[in-house]
Amino acid sequence: MNSSKKEWQETALAKALGSFPARWERFENSSGIAIDPLYTPEDLSGFDYRSSLGYPGEYPFTRGIQPAMYRSRLWTMRQYAGFASAQESNKRYRYLLEQGQTGLSIAFDLPTQIGYDSDHPLATGEVGKVGVAIDTLEDMETLFRDIPLNKVSTSMTINSTAPILLCMYIALARRQGVDMAMLEGTIQNDVLKEYIARGTYIFPPGPSMRLITDIFAYCNSNLPRWNTISVSGYHIREAGSTAAQEVAFTLANGIAYVDAAIQAGLDTDKFAGRISFFFDSHNDLFEEVAKFRAARRLWARIMKERFKAKDPRSMMLRFHTQTAGCTLTAQQPYNNIVRVAIQALAAVLGGTQSLHTNSFDEAYATPSEEAVTIALRTQQLLAHESSVGDVVDPLGGSYYVESLTEALEQKASEYIGKIDKLGGAVKAIEQGYQQREIQENSYKQQKAVDDGRTVIVGINKFTSATAKISGLTRIDAEKEAIQKKRLQNVRQKRDNERCSRVLNGLSEVARSRENVMPSILECVEAYASVGEICGVLRKVFGTQKEFLIF
């Protein structure tokens, strides 16, 4: 009983040899951290884990940002949805709310994301395919028909055109008679990860950062409950990063946004409390739990030590989680239900504030009503039947989890240090640093699957005939023609003289140092389209070309 961990391990290994020696080979998680077969107090002796642990709701927030966490309020169940037309998406939103969803999450189609109207030649074939098509305020009015904005919080996954879609939401609230100060929700508004991992950017980094800080300033004065940015690690992880890289590159982007806001004259404690984050939840249960805890602690230290924040809310890392889309398989698709349940459990054990659970049929199509209901029920089962929310940070103090949390924080800190030496996130992106790191790790991950070192059930082990699934959602090609007609009708019935005048006004404001948000709001309320507004900004700001990585 008094032997050291090393002595125990040597004895256990000797006993194991000849029985199952392969299980005693060196294990590593996605971040290259060696995983021992057993963890003891000895693994915590190299750092003061007690001071880093603390209590929930207190700095450094390792154990959660609220004292009682889910004992006082469950995480928001926010299913990401949007497809085809505003009318069809509205039906899906109202269905999800009827099924017990507690927040909305809007998916926009690619033309909307990159600032093209549905009738633009480059939008052909993409209208309504991976999200809802929103061209004008009229579409937004349809999207939220019979959904009072003062009764729901809304997350909008939109980046380059974030100022426009946020202004549409504000304009809609005005039409519903809702006080802007009462609006609750989040706009993703994170363009740096687009340069790193996703690609739906429009403008160069400089003007893009200006638009982001304009949103910070505008919301600080007008939308005090609105989360002005959701700094996203999700897409970084989906592109192939490790868990440590996901934390590091995400927080480095967060540092860049805070720096930009301070340079724009904003006070840290005035805007930092409305910064939120968005993470992936992958298959390795304990690594993901530790990742969330490490990210929360590291961000708290960054805000306190680097930016001298005084308000505890400025140090809190509040985050939304989505289960890992990249892990979903077309082969044996019902296995995805189990994968999503494990990933959702990791997010809850890690202290997420809101959660989206993917649907089992997403490797084939936009989720069907049946599939999205199962995904929502997965969250409800966790919340109401599993008891995992009854105790705050139930894995806190685990030798393994605490050791892994410390190791992930250290690895992420090392990456952030490298990015700092390159001149910060923007400069590092321009040099292709994050992109190369992700590409190299993505290759390693795929090679491990191809070689059989990483097991994917139904892909390289335990294969069988793929079950046929029915009821897949199909996007009717006719919907594109209908959307184009809707846009034409708006252009015909709006006051085009007014529309032209406010678009010219936006051009002047964009060329100045004024905040663009009031001018964009004027354009939106005149029923100017997303494409028309972006057309004005493209002329002023220019467009970003793909970064060349050598």
What pLDDT score does 282 carry? 98
What pLDDT score does 262 carry? 97
Nearest to 469 by CA among 270, 378, 336, 325: 336
What pLDDT score does 17 carry? 58
What's the average model confidence in pLDDT over 276-281? Answer: 98
Give yes or no for a contact between 120 and 468, defined as CB atoms under 8 angstroms apart.
no
Beta strands at 27-28 and 103-107: parallel, antiparallel or unpaired: unpaired
Q: What is the mean pLDDT of the chain?
A: 94
Task: Count the neighbouring beta carbons within 10 Å of the beta carbon of residue 329.
Answer: 16
Q: Could you give the C-alpha distances from 123 to 82, 133, 197, 342, 407, in angstroms and in order?
A: 17, 10, 21, 37, 45
What pLDDT score does 8 carry? 76
pLDDT interval class at 539 (50, 70, 90)? very high
Whether residue 547 is predicted with pLDDT greater than 80 in this model: the reply is no
CATH number, domain 69-450, options 3.60.20.10, 3.30.420.40, 3.20.20.240, 3.40.50.300: 3.20.20.240
What pLDDT score does 66 carry? 97
Q: What is the DSSP letter of 21?
A: G
Structure tokens at 462: 């335990």
Whether residue 50 is predicted with pLDDT greater than 80 in this model: the reply is no
Q: Return d(Cα 240, Cα 325) in angstroms, integer.
A: 12
What pLDDT score does 26 carry? 63
Q: Counting Cβ atoms within 10 Å, is residue 11 exposed (0-12), middle (13-18) or buried (19+)?
A: exposed
Give yes or no for a contact between 149 and 189, defined as CB atoms under 8 angstroms apart.
no
Strand order in the sheet with 275-281: 226-227, 185-187, 154-157, 103-107, 76-81, 354-356, 318-323, 275-281, 229-232
Minimum mean pLDDT range among 33-37, 378-382, 387-391: 33-37
Minimum mean pLDDT range among 49-63, 357-371, 447-461: 49-63
What pLDDT score does 113 carry? 98
CA angle in degrees (0–180, nearest 5) for 470-474-480: 175
Chain segment 4-37, per-residue pLDDT in tens: 887 777 777 666 655 555 555 668 899 999 998 8
Domain with CATH 3.20.20.240 in the chain: 69-450
Give yes or no for a contact between 410 and 245, defined as CB atoms under 8 angstroms apart.
no
What pLDDT score does 153 carry? 95
Cα Rg, the chain, nearest whole Å: 24
| Percent with pLDDT over 90 in the chain | 88
Q: What is the largest CA-CA distance in the chain?
A: 85
**All residues at 6 or more sequence positions from 365 whose CB lies less than 8 Å from its CB, including other chains:** 472, 473, 474
